[in-house]
Structure 1
Amino acid sequence: MPFGYASPEQIMRDRAEYARKGIARGRSVVVMQYADGILFVAPNPSKALHKISEIYDRIGFAAVGRYNEFESLRLAGIRYADINGYTFNRSDVTGRGLANLYAQQLGMIFTESIKSLEVEIVVAEVGEAPEDDQIYRLTFDGSVFDEQGMAVIGGQAEAVAGRLKERYREGLALPEALDAALSALTEPGGDRPPSAQLEVAVLDRSREHRKFLRLTGPRLERLLTAAAPPEPPAGTAPAEGAEQPAEPSAEPPAEPPTAPPIGPDGDIDTGSDE
Protein backbone atom coordinates (compact mmCIF):
# COMPACT_ATOMS: atom_id res chain seq x y z
CA MET A 1 0.00 0.00 0.00
CA PRO A 2 1.37 3.50 -0.82
CA PHE A 3 2.32 5.63 2.15
CA GLY A 4 -0.48 7.98 3.27
CA TYR A 5 -3.31 6.02 1.64
CA ALA A 6 -6.84 6.70 2.90
CA SER A 7 -10.01 5.01 1.70
CA PRO A 8 -12.60 7.10 -0.19
CA GLU A 9 -15.06 6.59 2.65
CA GLN A 10 -12.59 8.01 5.16
CA ILE A 11 -11.85 10.99 2.92
CA MET A 12 -15.56 11.78 2.58
CA ARG A 13 -16.07 11.49 6.34
CA ASP A 14 -13.14 13.81 7.03
CA ARG A 15 -14.41 16.40 4.57
CA ALA A 16 -17.92 16.27 6.02
CA GLU A 17 -16.63 16.60 9.59
CA TYR A 18 -14.42 19.53 8.60
CA ALA A 19 -17.33 21.34 6.95
CA ARG A 20 -19.73 20.70 9.85
CA LYS A 21 -17.29 22.12 12.39
CA GLY A 22 -16.80 25.26 10.36
CA ILE A 23 -20.54 25.81 9.91
CA ALA A 24 -21.29 25.17 13.59
CA ARG A 25 -18.94 27.97 14.66
CA GLY A 26 -21.26 30.62 13.20
CA ARG A 27 -24.64 31.89 14.33
CA SER A 28 -27.90 30.38 13.19
CA VAL A 29 -30.21 31.87 10.55
CA VAL A 30 -33.99 31.36 10.63
CA VAL A 31 -36.16 31.31 7.51
CA MET A 32 -39.89 30.84 8.09
CA GLN A 33 -43.26 31.47 6.54
CA TYR A 34 -45.67 34.07 7.87
CA ALA A 35 -49.11 35.19 6.71
CA ASP A 36 -47.91 37.47 3.88
CA GLY A 37 -44.70 35.79 2.78
CA ILE A 38 -41.37 34.49 4.04
CA LEU A 39 -39.27 35.98 6.86
CA PHE A 40 -35.45 35.89 7.15
CA VAL A 41 -33.78 36.62 10.52
CA ALA A 42 -30.05 36.46 11.25
CA PRO A 43 -27.94 37.84 14.12
CA ASN A 44 -25.28 39.83 12.29
CA PRO A 45 -23.34 42.71 13.89
CA SER A 46 -21.53 43.48 10.61
CA LYS A 47 -22.91 46.29 8.45
CA ALA A 48 -20.82 45.40 5.39
CA LEU A 49 -21.31 41.63 5.14
CA HIS A 50 -24.82 40.29 4.54
CA LYS A 51 -26.06 36.80 5.26
CA ILE A 52 -29.43 37.55 3.61
CA SER A 53 -29.80 38.81 0.06
CA GLU A 54 -32.09 39.03 -2.94
CA ILE A 55 -31.50 36.76 -5.93
CA TYR A 56 -34.44 37.66 -8.18
CA ASP A 57 -37.92 39.17 -8.07
CA ARG A 58 -39.47 36.48 -5.88
CA ILE A 59 -36.38 34.63 -4.64
CA GLY A 60 -34.33 35.24 -1.49
CA PHE A 61 -31.03 33.77 -0.33
CA ALA A 62 -29.65 33.11 3.16
CA ALA A 63 -26.33 31.50 4.08
CA VAL A 64 -23.99 30.71 6.95
CA GLY A 65 -20.33 29.71 7.00
CA ARG A 66 -17.39 31.31 5.22
CA TYR A 67 -18.45 34.61 3.71
CA ASN A 68 -16.15 34.47 0.67
CA GLU A 69 -17.48 31.02 -0.23
CA PHE A 70 -21.21 31.67 0.01
CA GLU A 71 -20.79 35.11 -1.58
CA SER A 72 -19.41 33.45 -4.72
CA LEU A 73 -22.46 31.17 -4.73
CA ARG A 74 -24.79 34.14 -4.38
CA LEU A 75 -23.19 35.94 -7.33
CA ALA A 76 -23.39 32.78 -9.44
CA GLY A 77 -27.09 32.53 -8.64
CA ILE A 78 -27.71 36.15 -9.65
CA ARG A 79 -25.94 35.61 -12.98
CA TYR A 80 -27.94 32.44 -13.61
CA ALA A 81 -31.22 34.23 -12.83
CA ASP A 82 -30.43 37.29 -14.93
CA ILE A 83 -29.31 35.30 -17.98
CA ASN A 84 -32.27 32.92 -17.91
CA GLY A 85 -34.80 35.68 -17.23
CA TYR A 86 -33.46 37.79 -20.10
CA THR A 87 -32.99 34.89 -22.57
CA PHE A 88 -36.31 33.15 -21.94
CA ASN A 89 -38.90 34.57 -19.56
CA ARG A 90 -38.80 35.95 -16.03
CA SER A 91 -41.24 33.26 -14.92
CA ASP A 92 -38.68 30.61 -15.95
CA VAL A 93 -36.44 31.64 -13.04
CA THR A 94 -37.58 29.54 -10.09
CA GLY A 95 -36.29 28.70 -6.65
CA ARG A 96 -36.23 25.01 -7.59
CA GLY A 97 -34.00 25.65 -10.60
CA LEU A 98 -31.66 27.77 -8.51
CA ALA A 99 -31.51 25.10 -5.79
CA ASN A 100 -30.61 22.47 -8.41
CA LEU A 101 -27.83 24.73 -9.70
CA TYR A 102 -26.39 25.16 -6.21
CA ALA A 103 -26.70 21.43 -5.51
CA GLN A 104 -24.63 20.60 -8.59
CA GLN A 105 -21.91 23.09 -7.67
CA LEU A 106 -21.73 22.05 -4.02
CA GLY A 107 -21.75 18.34 -4.85
CA MET A 108 -19.01 18.69 -7.46
CA ILE A 109 -16.77 20.69 -5.12
CA PHE A 110 -17.36 18.24 -2.25
CA THR A 111 -16.35 15.19 -4.31
CA GLU A 112 -13.57 16.63 -6.49
CA SER A 113 -11.91 19.35 -4.40
CA ILE A 114 -9.46 18.76 -1.59
CA LYS A 115 -11.46 21.05 0.71
CA SER A 116 -15.27 21.17 0.79
CA LEU A 117 -17.10 24.48 1.10
CA GLU A 118 -17.94 25.43 4.69
CA VAL A 119 -21.39 26.76 3.81
CA GLU A 120 -25.05 25.96 4.27
CA ILE A 121 -27.64 27.93 2.32
CA VAL A 122 -31.38 28.43 1.95
CA VAL A 123 -33.16 29.39 -1.27
CA ALA A 124 -36.71 30.63 -0.71
CA GLU A 125 -39.34 31.62 -3.28
CA VAL A 126 -42.60 33.33 -2.37
CA GLY A 127 -45.72 32.35 -4.32
CA GLU A 128 -49.11 33.88 -4.95
CA ALA A 129 -50.52 31.93 -2.00
CA PRO A 130 -48.93 30.42 1.12
CA GLU A 131 -49.22 26.91 -0.30
CA ASP A 132 -47.08 28.00 -3.26
CA ASP A 133 -44.14 29.14 -1.12
CA GLN A 134 -40.94 27.11 -1.46
CA ILE A 135 -38.03 26.82 0.99
CA TYR A 136 -35.00 24.72 0.03
CA ARG A 137 -32.12 24.01 2.40
CA LEU A 138 -28.80 22.94 0.87
CA THR A 139 -25.88 21.46 2.77
CA PHE A 140 -22.16 21.52 2.00
CA ASP A 141 -22.28 18.20 0.09
CA GLY A 142 -25.03 19.26 -2.32
CA SER A 143 -27.95 17.60 -0.53
CA VAL A 144 -31.28 19.42 -1.02
CA PHE A 145 -34.08 19.41 1.55
CA ASP A 146 -37.54 20.73 0.74
CA GLU A 147 -38.51 22.34 4.04
CA GLN A 148 -42.11 22.89 5.08
CA GLY A 149 -42.85 26.18 6.81
CA MET A 150 -39.42 26.90 8.26
CA ALA A 151 -35.70 26.15 8.06
CA VAL A 152 -32.74 26.73 10.40
CA ILE A 153 -29.12 26.67 9.27
CA GLY A 154 -25.76 27.13 10.99
CA GLY A 155 -24.73 27.30 14.63
CA GLN A 156 -26.75 25.16 17.02
CA ALA A 157 -29.36 24.48 14.33
CA GLU A 158 -31.05 21.54 16.09
CA ALA A 159 -31.59 23.43 19.34
CA VAL A 160 -32.85 26.54 17.53
CA ALA A 161 -35.19 24.47 15.36
CA GLY A 162 -36.59 22.75 18.44
CA ARG A 163 -37.41 26.08 20.10
CA LEU A 164 -38.87 27.42 16.87
CA LYS A 165 -41.20 24.44 16.43
CA GLU A 166 -42.71 25.15 19.84
CA ARG A 167 -43.84 28.62 18.73
CA TYR A 168 -44.39 28.21 15.01
CA ARG A 169 -47.84 27.88 13.47
CA GLU A 170 -49.31 28.66 10.09
CA GLY A 171 -50.64 32.14 9.37
CA LEU A 172 -48.57 34.09 11.89
CA ALA A 173 -48.57 37.86 11.49
CA LEU A 174 -45.18 39.45 10.83
CA PRO A 175 -44.62 40.72 14.42
CA GLU A 176 -45.58 37.30 15.82
CA ALA A 177 -43.29 35.52 13.36
CA LEU A 178 -40.43 37.86 14.26
CA ASP A 179 -41.04 37.21 17.96
CA ALA A 180 -40.97 33.44 17.37
CA ALA A 181 -37.73 33.69 15.39
CA LEU A 182 -36.00 35.85 18.01
CA SER A 183 -37.16 33.57 20.81
CA ALA A 184 -35.70 30.59 18.96
CA LEU A 185 -32.39 32.35 18.28
CA THR A 186 -32.01 33.45 21.92
CA GLU A 187 -30.57 31.02 24.41
CA PRO A 188 -32.87 30.23 27.37
CA GLY A 189 -32.36 32.93 29.96
CA GLY A 190 -30.39 35.13 27.58
CA ASP A 191 -31.13 38.58 26.19
CA ARG A 192 -32.33 39.17 22.67
CA PRO A 193 -29.86 40.90 20.35
CA PRO A 194 -30.54 44.62 19.74
CA SER A 195 -31.82 45.81 16.40
CA ALA A 196 -28.33 47.09 15.45
CA GLN A 197 -27.08 43.48 15.52
CA LEU A 198 -29.96 41.96 13.55
CA GLU A 199 -30.37 41.38 9.83
CA VAL A 200 -34.05 41.02 8.94
CA ALA A 201 -35.71 40.79 5.52
CA VAL A 202 -38.96 39.51 4.03
CA LEU A 203 -40.33 38.24 0.75
CA ASP A 204 -43.69 40.05 0.84
CA ARG A 205 -46.21 38.61 -1.62
CA SER A 206 -48.33 41.79 -1.43
CA ARG A 207 -45.57 43.95 -2.97
CA GLU A 208 -45.52 44.70 -6.69
CA HIS A 209 -42.76 43.18 -8.85
CA ARG A 210 -39.79 42.85 -6.48
CA LYS A 211 -40.94 41.03 -3.35
CA PHE A 212 -37.71 41.30 -1.36
CA LEU A 213 -37.62 43.98 1.34
CA ARG A 214 -34.87 44.55 3.88
CA LEU A 215 -36.18 45.75 7.27
CA THR A 216 -33.95 48.32 8.96
CA GLY A 217 -34.10 51.47 11.04
CA PRO A 218 -37.43 52.74 12.42
CA ARG A 219 -39.42 50.08 10.58
CA LEU A 220 -37.51 47.30 12.30
CA GLU A 221 -37.75 49.12 15.65
CA ARG A 222 -41.54 49.26 15.35
CA LEU A 223 -41.70 45.56 14.54
CA LEU A 224 -39.45 44.69 17.48
CA THR A 225 -41.63 46.79 19.77
CA ALA A 226 -44.74 45.02 18.52
CA ALA A 227 -43.01 41.65 18.85
CA ALA A 228 -41.76 42.25 22.41
CA PRO A 229 -43.69 40.35 25.09
CA PRO A 230 -46.00 42.73 26.99
CA GLU A 231 -45.00 43.71 30.49
CA PRO A 232 -47.68 43.60 33.18
CA PRO A 233 -48.79 47.14 34.10
CA ALA A 234 -47.97 48.43 37.55
CA GLY A 235 -50.63 47.91 40.16
CA THR A 236 -52.27 44.88 38.54
CA ALA A 237 -53.57 42.11 40.75
CA PRO A 238 -51.39 39.00 40.85
CA ALA A 239 -52.55 35.91 39.04
CA GLU A 240 -54.91 33.55 40.78
CA GLY A 241 -53.01 31.07 42.87
CA ALA A 242 -49.98 33.32 43.30
CA GLU A 243 -48.71 33.86 46.81
CA GLN A 244 -49.89 37.09 48.39
CA PRO A 245 -47.26 39.21 50.13
CA ALA A 246 -47.62 39.24 53.90
CA GLU A 247 -49.17 42.45 55.21
CA PRO A 248 -47.28 44.18 58.03
CA SER A 249 -48.87 43.71 61.43
CA ALA A 250 -50.43 46.79 63.02
CA GLU A 251 -49.12 45.83 66.48
CA PRO A 252 -45.42 46.36 67.20
CA PRO A 253 -43.48 43.14 67.70
CA ALA A 254 -43.03 42.08 71.27
CA GLU A 255 -39.60 42.72 72.69
CA PRO A 256 -37.65 39.56 73.49
CA PRO A 257 -37.11 38.85 77.20
CA THR A 258 -33.87 40.23 78.56
CA ALA A 259 -31.49 37.49 79.51
CA PRO A 260 -29.27 37.89 82.60
CA PRO A 261 -25.76 39.11 81.79
CA ILE A 262 -23.18 36.38 81.40
CA GLY A 263 -20.08 38.59 81.17
CA PRO A 264 -18.76 42.04 82.03
CA ASP A 265 -20.01 45.01 80.09
CA GLY A 266 -17.75 46.69 77.53
CA ASP A 267 -16.08 45.94 74.22
CA ILE A 268 -15.04 42.42 73.45
CA ASP A 269 -11.41 41.82 72.71
CA THR A 270 -11.29 40.11 69.29
CA GLY A 271 -7.55 39.71 69.23
CA SER A 272 -6.97 42.26 66.44
CA ASP A 273 -5.00 45.51 66.68
CA GLU A 274 -7.90 47.62 65.45
Structure 2
Amino acid sequence: MSTPFYVSPQQAMADRAEYARKGIARGRSVVVLQYIDGVVFVAENPSRALHKVSEIYDRIAFAAVGKYNEFENLRIGGVRYADLRGYTYDREDVTARGLANVYAQTLGTIFSSAAEKPYEVELIVAEVGNAPEDDQIYRLPHDGSIVDEHGSVAVGGNADQISSYLDQRHREGMTLGEALKLAVESLSRDTAGGERTLTAEQLEVATLDRTRPQQRKFKRILGRQLSRLLDEHTGAEGGKSADGDADASDEAAGGAAGESSGASGASDAEATSGKDGAGKGDSGSSKGTETSED
Protein backbone atom coordinates (compact mmCIF):
# COMPACT_ATOMS: atom_id res chain seq x y z
CA MET A 1 0.00 0.00 0.00
CA SER A 2 1.48 3.33 -1.03
CA THR A 3 1.72 6.26 1.35
CA PRO A 4 -0.42 9.24 0.26
CA PHE A 5 1.51 12.32 -0.80
CA TYR A 6 1.34 15.01 1.88
CA VAL A 7 1.19 18.75 1.18
CA SER A 8 1.00 21.23 4.04
CA PRO A 9 -2.06 23.54 4.12
CA GLN A 10 0.21 26.59 3.80
CA GLN A 11 1.85 25.23 0.67
CA ALA A 12 -1.50 24.23 -0.81
CA MET A 13 -2.92 27.72 -0.28
CA ALA A 14 0.21 29.33 -1.71
CA ASP A 15 -0.04 27.16 -4.83
CA ARG A 16 -3.72 28.01 -5.28
CA ALA A 17 -3.03 31.71 -4.86
CA GLU A 18 -0.20 31.59 -7.40
CA TYR A 19 -2.43 29.76 -9.86
CA ALA A 20 -5.17 32.39 -9.52
CA ARG A 21 -2.75 35.35 -9.78
CA LYS A 22 -1.23 34.03 -13.00
CA GLY A 23 -4.67 33.64 -14.56
CA ILE A 24 -5.66 37.19 -13.54
CA ALA A 25 -2.39 38.69 -14.83
CA ARG A 26 -3.08 37.32 -18.32
CA GLY A 27 -6.17 39.54 -18.62
CA ARG A 28 -6.22 43.15 -19.81
CA SER A 29 -6.38 45.77 -17.07
CA VAL A 30 -9.34 47.75 -15.76
CA VAL A 31 -8.97 51.19 -14.17
CA VAL A 32 -11.51 52.87 -11.87
CA LEU A 33 -11.18 56.56 -10.99
CA GLN A 34 -13.15 59.03 -8.94
CA TYR A 35 -13.93 62.35 -10.62
CA ILE A 36 -15.92 65.38 -9.55
CA ASP A 37 -19.31 64.02 -10.67
CA GLY A 38 -18.90 60.33 -9.82
CA VAL A 39 -16.84 57.28 -10.74
CA VAL A 40 -15.51 56.33 -14.19
CA PHE A 41 -14.62 52.79 -15.31
CA VAL A 42 -12.14 52.34 -18.16
CA ALA A 43 -11.19 48.90 -19.49
CA GLU A 44 -9.08 47.79 -22.40
CA ASN A 45 -11.65 45.61 -24.14
CA PRO A 46 -11.99 45.43 -27.93
CA SER A 47 -14.99 43.10 -27.65
CA ARG A 48 -18.46 44.62 -27.87
CA ALA A 49 -20.24 41.42 -26.82
CA LEU A 50 -18.36 40.55 -23.62
CA HIS A 51 -18.44 43.37 -21.07
CA LYS A 52 -15.98 43.81 -18.23
CA VAL A 53 -18.01 46.67 -16.70
CA SER A 54 -21.70 46.30 -15.88
CA GLU A 55 -24.50 47.79 -13.81
CA ILE A 56 -25.63 45.98 -10.68
CA TYR A 57 -28.21 48.36 -9.21
CA ASP A 58 -29.25 52.03 -9.12
CA ARG A 59 -25.95 53.45 -7.85
CA ILE A 60 -23.74 50.37 -7.99
CA ALA A 61 -21.52 49.08 -10.78
CA PHE A 62 -19.25 46.08 -11.18
CA ALA A 63 -15.92 45.61 -13.00
CA ALA A 64 -13.84 42.46 -13.30
CA VAL A 65 -10.80 40.88 -14.92
CA GLY A 66 -9.92 37.23 -15.41
CA LYS A 67 -12.00 34.39 -16.81
CA TYR A 68 -15.20 35.74 -18.31
CA ASN A 69 -17.45 32.78 -17.46
CA GLU A 70 -16.43 32.95 -13.81
CA PHE A 71 -16.93 36.66 -13.20
CA GLU A 72 -20.12 36.65 -15.28
CA ASN A 73 -21.60 34.08 -12.86
CA LEU A 74 -20.63 36.36 -9.99
CA ARG A 75 -22.18 39.38 -11.72
CA ILE A 76 -25.49 37.56 -12.24
CA GLY A 77 -25.49 36.46 -8.62
CA GLY A 78 -24.90 40.07 -7.53
CA VAL A 79 -27.82 41.33 -9.63
CA ARG A 80 -30.12 38.71 -8.12
CA TYR A 81 -28.99 39.61 -4.59
CA ALA A 82 -29.56 43.32 -5.20
CA ASP A 83 -32.98 42.86 -6.79
CA LEU A 84 -34.19 40.54 -4.02
CA ARG A 85 -32.94 42.78 -1.22
CA GLY A 86 -34.34 45.93 -2.82
CA TYR A 87 -37.73 44.26 -3.35
CA THR A 88 -37.88 42.71 0.13
CA TYR A 89 -36.76 45.77 2.08
CA ASP A 90 -36.01 49.06 0.33
CA ARG A 91 -33.90 50.22 -2.59
CA GLU A 92 -31.73 52.24 -0.20
CA ASP A 93 -30.78 49.02 1.60
CA VAL A 94 -28.83 47.80 -1.44
CA THR A 95 -25.26 49.02 -0.91
CA ALA A 96 -21.85 48.31 -2.38
CA ARG A 97 -20.61 47.28 1.05
CA GLY A 98 -23.28 44.59 1.38
CA LEU A 99 -22.62 43.34 -2.14
CA ALA A 100 -18.87 43.25 -1.51
CA ASN A 101 -19.45 41.14 1.60
CA VAL A 102 -21.52 38.66 -0.39
CA TYR A 103 -18.81 38.40 -3.06
CA ALA A 104 -16.14 38.01 -0.39
CA GLN A 105 -17.96 35.06 1.17
CA THR A 106 -18.39 33.37 -2.21
CA LEU A 107 -14.80 33.86 -3.34
CA GLY A 108 -13.41 32.86 0.07
CA THR A 109 -15.41 29.65 0.12
CA ILE A 110 -14.31 28.67 -3.38
CA PHE A 111 -10.67 29.54 -2.68
CA SER A 112 -10.46 27.45 0.50
CA SER A 113 -12.30 24.46 -0.96
CA ALA A 114 -10.08 21.64 -2.12
CA ALA A 115 -12.87 20.20 -4.25
CA GLU A 116 -12.58 22.83 -7.00
CA LYS A 117 -10.02 25.21 -8.40
CA PRO A 118 -9.99 28.86 -7.23
CA TYR A 119 -11.67 31.48 -9.37
CA GLU A 120 -9.23 33.35 -11.61
CA VAL A 121 -10.97 36.69 -11.14
CA GLU A 122 -10.48 40.03 -9.42
CA LEU A 123 -13.49 42.28 -8.85
CA ILE A 124 -14.25 45.94 -8.23
CA VAL A 125 -17.57 47.04 -6.75
CA ALA A 126 -18.26 50.79 -6.69
CA GLU A 127 -21.14 52.94 -5.46
CA VAL A 128 -21.65 56.63 -6.18
CA GLY A 129 -22.90 58.82 -3.35
CA ASN A 130 -24.54 62.22 -3.17
CA ALA A 131 -21.12 63.85 -2.71
CA PRO A 132 -17.57 62.79 -3.66
CA GLU A 133 -16.75 61.89 -0.06
CA ASP A 134 -19.67 59.42 -0.05
CA ASP A 135 -18.36 57.37 -3.00
CA GLN A 136 -17.30 53.80 -2.20
CA ILE A 137 -14.88 51.57 -4.13
CA TYR A 138 -14.05 48.02 -3.03
CA ARG A 139 -11.51 45.68 -4.61
CA LEU A 140 -11.92 41.93 -4.12
CA PRO A 141 -8.97 39.67 -4.98
CA HIS A 142 -9.29 35.98 -5.77
CA ASP A 143 -9.09 34.86 -2.10
CA GLY A 144 -12.18 36.78 -0.98
CA SER A 145 -10.49 39.56 0.98
CA ILE A 146 -11.90 43.10 0.73
CA VAL A 147 -9.76 46.19 0.11
CA ASP A 148 -11.35 49.62 0.56
CA GLU A 149 -9.92 51.87 -2.16
CA HIS A 150 -9.94 55.65 -2.54
CA GLY A 151 -9.31 57.83 -5.56
CA SER A 152 -8.12 55.26 -8.07
CA VAL A 153 -7.58 51.51 -8.43
CA ALA A 154 -6.36 49.15 -11.16
CA VAL A 155 -6.75 45.37 -11.49
CA GLY A 156 -5.48 42.77 -13.95
CA GLY A 157 -2.47 42.80 -16.26
CA ASN A 158 0.33 45.04 -14.95
CA ALA A 159 -1.89 46.48 -12.19
CA ASP A 160 1.02 47.38 -9.89
CA GLN A 161 2.68 49.61 -12.47
CA ILE A 162 -0.63 51.23 -13.44
CA SER A 163 -1.60 51.83 -9.81
CA SER A 164 1.73 53.53 -9.13
CA TYR A 165 1.23 55.77 -12.18
CA LEU A 166 -2.30 56.70 -11.05
CA ASP A 167 -1.29 57.41 -7.46
CA GLN A 168 1.25 59.98 -8.65
CA ARG A 169 -1.14 61.82 -10.99
CA HIS A 170 -4.70 61.41 -9.75
CA ARG A 171 -6.16 64.33 -7.81
CA GLU A 172 -9.51 65.31 -6.38
CA GLY A 173 -11.87 67.43 -8.44
CA MET A 174 -10.89 66.08 -11.85
CA THR A 175 -13.39 66.45 -14.67
CA LEU A 176 -14.61 63.43 -16.62
CA GLY A 177 -12.35 64.31 -19.55
CA GLU A 178 -9.28 64.66 -17.31
CA ALA A 179 -9.99 61.38 -15.51
CA LEU A 180 -10.57 59.58 -18.82
CA LYS A 181 -7.34 60.97 -20.26
CA LEU A 182 -5.38 59.82 -17.17
CA ALA A 183 -6.95 56.35 -17.31
CA VAL A 184 -6.10 55.91 -21.00
CA GLU A 185 -2.53 57.10 -20.39
CA SER A 186 -2.08 54.57 -17.59
CA LEU A 187 -3.51 51.71 -19.68
CA SER A 188 -1.27 52.68 -22.61
CA ARG A 189 1.90 52.01 -20.63
CA ASP A 190 3.36 48.54 -21.10
CA THR A 191 5.59 46.55 -18.76
CA ALA A 192 8.75 47.66 -20.58
CA GLY A 193 8.03 51.34 -19.89
CA GLY A 194 6.94 52.18 -23.45
CA GLU A 195 3.60 53.57 -24.55
CA ARG A 196 0.92 52.32 -26.93
CA THR A 197 -1.92 54.14 -28.64
CA LEU A 198 -5.40 53.08 -27.53
CA THR A 199 -8.33 54.14 -29.70
CA ALA A 200 -12.00 54.42 -28.79
CA GLU A 201 -12.67 51.04 -30.45
CA GLN A 202 -10.29 49.34 -27.98
CA LEU A 203 -11.85 50.82 -24.85
CA GLU A 204 -14.91 50.07 -22.74
CA VAL A 205 -15.93 53.13 -20.73
CA ALA A 206 -18.81 53.64 -18.29
CA THR A 207 -19.65 56.03 -15.47
CA LEU A 208 -21.66 56.29 -12.30
CA ASP A 209 -22.79 59.91 -12.67
CA ARG A 210 -24.36 61.45 -9.59
CA THR A 211 -25.71 64.40 -11.63
CA ARG A 212 -28.05 62.25 -13.74
CA PRO A 213 -31.69 63.01 -12.92
CA GLN A 214 -32.65 59.33 -13.29
CA GLN A 215 -32.60 56.98 -10.32
CA ARG A 216 -30.17 54.75 -12.21
CA LYS A 217 -26.78 56.48 -12.34
CA PHE A 218 -24.96 54.01 -14.60
CA LYS A 219 -24.19 55.12 -18.13
CA ARG A 220 -22.00 53.73 -20.90
CA ILE A 221 -19.91 56.12 -22.98
CA LEU A 222 -19.79 54.84 -26.54
CA GLY A 223 -19.08 55.77 -30.13
CA ARG A 224 -19.00 59.44 -30.99
CA GLN A 225 -19.22 60.65 -27.41
CA LEU A 226 -16.16 58.65 -26.40
CA SER A 227 -14.24 59.68 -29.52
CA ARG A 228 -15.11 63.32 -28.86
CA LEU A 229 -13.88 63.15 -25.27
CA LEU A 230 -10.61 61.57 -26.35
CA ASP A 231 -10.14 63.99 -29.26
CA GLU A 232 -10.91 67.05 -27.13
CA HIS A 233 -7.98 66.39 -24.81
CA THR A 234 -5.70 65.38 -27.64
CA GLY A 235 -6.61 68.60 -29.44
CA ALA A 236 -6.16 70.64 -26.24
CA GLU A 237 -2.65 69.26 -25.79
CA GLY A 238 -1.87 69.94 -29.44
CA GLY A 239 -3.20 73.49 -29.09
CA LYS A 240 -1.03 74.15 -26.07
CA SER A 241 2.01 72.81 -27.89
CA ALA A 242 1.24 74.95 -30.96
CA ASP A 243 0.78 78.07 -28.80
CA GLY A 244 4.10 77.38 -27.11
CA ASP A 245 5.84 77.02 -30.47
CA ALA A 246 4.23 80.22 -31.74
CA ASP A 247 5.33 82.14 -28.65
CA ALA A 248 8.85 80.80 -29.02
CA SER A 249 8.97 81.79 -32.70
CA ASP A 250 7.61 85.27 -31.84
CA GLU A 251 10.28 85.67 -29.19
CA ALA A 252 12.95 84.56 -31.63
CA ALA A 253 11.67 86.98 -34.27
CA GLY A 254 11.58 89.79 -31.73
CA GLY A 255 15.11 89.00 -30.63
CA ALA A 256 16.35 88.99 -34.22
CA ALA A 257 14.66 92.32 -34.88
CA GLY A 258 16.25 93.77 -31.75
CA GLU A 259 19.67 92.57 -32.78
CA SER A 260 19.18 94.03 -36.27
CA SER A 261 18.12 97.42 -34.89
CA GLY A 262 20.98 97.33 -32.41
CA ALA A 263 23.46 96.63 -35.17
CA SER A 264 22.12 99.45 -37.36
CA GLY A 265 22.21 101.80 -34.40
CA ALA A 266 25.82 100.90 -33.72
CA SER A 267 26.81 101.51 -37.33
CA ASP A 268 25.06 104.90 -37.32
CA ALA A 269 26.86 105.85 -34.13
CA GLU A 270 30.20 104.84 -35.61
CA ALA A 271 29.49 106.87 -38.74
CA THR A 272 28.57 109.92 -36.68
CA SER A 273 31.62 109.60 -34.47
CA GLY A 274 33.74 109.27 -37.59
CA LYS A 275 32.39 112.50 -39.01
CA ASP A 276 32.86 114.32 -35.74
CA GLY A 277 36.38 112.98 -35.45
CA ALA A 278 37.24 114.24 -38.91
CA GLY A 279 35.95 117.74 -38.12
CA LYS A 280 37.55 118.00 -34.69
CA GLY A 281 40.72 116.10 -35.21
CA ASP A 282 43.03 119.04 -34.60
CA SER A 283 41.37 120.27 -31.44
CA GLY A 284 41.13 116.71 -30.16
CA SER A 285 44.82 116.11 -30.65
CA SER A 286 45.77 119.41 -29.01
CA LYS A 287 43.56 118.62 -26.03
CA GLY A 288 45.14 115.23 -25.83
CA THR A 289 48.60 116.82 -25.76
CA GLU A 290 47.63 119.21 -22.99
CA THR A 291 46.19 116.38 -20.95
CA SER A 292 49.29 114.31 -21.31
CA GLU A 293 51.44 117.15 -20.23
CA ASP A 294 49.29 117.83 -17.18
Residue type of the alignment partner of 2:119: L
CA distance in 1, matches of 2:4, 2:250: 74
TM value normalised by structure 2: 0.79
Which residue of 1 is the match for residue 202 of structure 2? 197
Letter in 2 for 1:117: Y
Find out whether 1:221 has 2:230 as its counterpart: no
Q: Cα deviations across residues 15-69 of structure 1 (Å, max 9, x unaligned)?
A: 0000000001111100110000000000001111000000000000000000000
> What is the distance in 1 between the residues matched to 2:200 and 2:119?
30
Change (3 A) 1:11 1:199: same
| Corresponding residue of 2:242 | 233
The equivalent position to 1:118 in structure 2, one of 99, 120, 128, is 120
The code of the aligned residue for 1:191 comes to R
Q: Which residue of 1 aligns with 2:139?
A: 137
Say if 1:20 and 1:56 are closer, same or farther in 2 by CA, change over 3 A.
same
TM-score (normalised: structure 1): 0.85
Gaps of 5+ in 2: 253-294
Corresponding residue to 2:165 among 157, 163, 187: 163
Instruction: Describe the superposition over 1:73-106 as per-residue Cα deviations: whole angstroms up to 9, x where unpaired.
Output: 0000000000010111000100000000000000
Aligned positions of 1:1-274 closer than 5 A: 2-112=3-113, 113-187=115-189, 188-207=193-212, 208-228=214-234, 230-231=237-238, 232-233=241-242, 236-238=246-248
Q: Which amino acid aligns with 1:96?
A: R
Q: Secondary structure at the match of 1:233?
A: helix
Match of 2:277 in 1: none
| Partner secondary structure for residue 167 of structure 2 | helix
Whose radius of gyration is greater, 1 or 2?
A: 2
Backbone CA RMSD of aligned residues: 1.9
Query: For 1:103 and 1:51, how far apart are their aligned partners in 2?
Result: 19
Task: Determine which structure has the larger helix proportion and give its number.
Answer: 2
Given that 1:42 and 1:200 are in contact with CA atoms closer than 8 Å, whether structure 2 keeps it comes out as yes
Check whether the contact 1:178–1:227 (CA below 8 A) recurs between aligned residues. no
**Unpaired segments ≥5 residues, structure 1:** 243-274
C-alpha distance in 2 between matches for 1:8 and 1:107: 15
Against the structure 1 CA distance between its residues 241 and 180, is the aligned structure 2 distance closer, same or farther, given a 3 Å change threshold? farther
Q: Partner amino acid for 1:97? A: G
* CA–CA separation in structure 2 for the residues paired with 1:41 and 1:100: 24
Alpha-carbon distance, 1:3 to partner: 2.5
Cα contact 1:200–1:214 (8 A) shared by 2? yes
Residue 247 of structure 1: aligned partner: none
Q: Match for 1:137: what amino acid?
A: R
Pairs aligned (count): 242
